[in-house]
Amino acid sequence: QKEVEQNSGPLSVPEGAIASLNCTYSDRGSQSFFWYRQYSGKSPELIMSIYSNGDKEDGRFTAQLNKASQYVSLLIRDSQPSDSATYLCAVNDSGGSNYKLTFGKGTLLTVNP
């Protein structure tokens, strides 16, 4: 059973701070990793993808991947109240079904003004 684990939160940070979201996964062969943002009552929205070890930056977002530790994280700099949402980590399955994603349960982030 492939698993993706996230702290459910809620994670509360003040406006302007750095929010750090973490995710571990069990499928050692996974090659593609995604972070989705889901506002309450809305569908998930892709905000970051990462495929290689190291950091990938896009605006205020930085994804970090360590395949040896089976760990992926998302940093949000200068957090804004509009960042308040549930953040879902998703990992592709290895092997013949590598098009399938396994999602974590998500971390609820609250950014306080």
- Report the interface residues with other proteins, using CB under 8 A: 32, 34, 41-46, 49, 51, 88, 90, 99-101, 103-106
CA 97 to chain centre: 21
| Phi and psi angles of residue 81, each rounded to the nearest 5 degrees, phi first | -55, -30
- To other proteins, the closest distance from the beta carbon of 52 in angstroms equals 12
Q: Are 9 and 108 in contact (CB under 8 A)?
A: yes
Q: Which is nearer to other proteins, 51 or 112 (CB)?
A: 51
- To other proteins, the closest distance from the beta carbon of 104 in angstroms equals 6
Q: Which is nearer to other proteins, 1 or 69 (CB)?
A: 1
Q: Which of 100, 88, 79 is nearest to 34 (CA)?
A: 88
- To other proteins, the closest distance from the beta carbon of 74 in angstroms equals 14
14: Cβ contacts below 8 Å, ≥ 6 apart: 79, 111, 112
Q: Which is nearer to other proteins, 17 or 49 (CB)?
A: 49
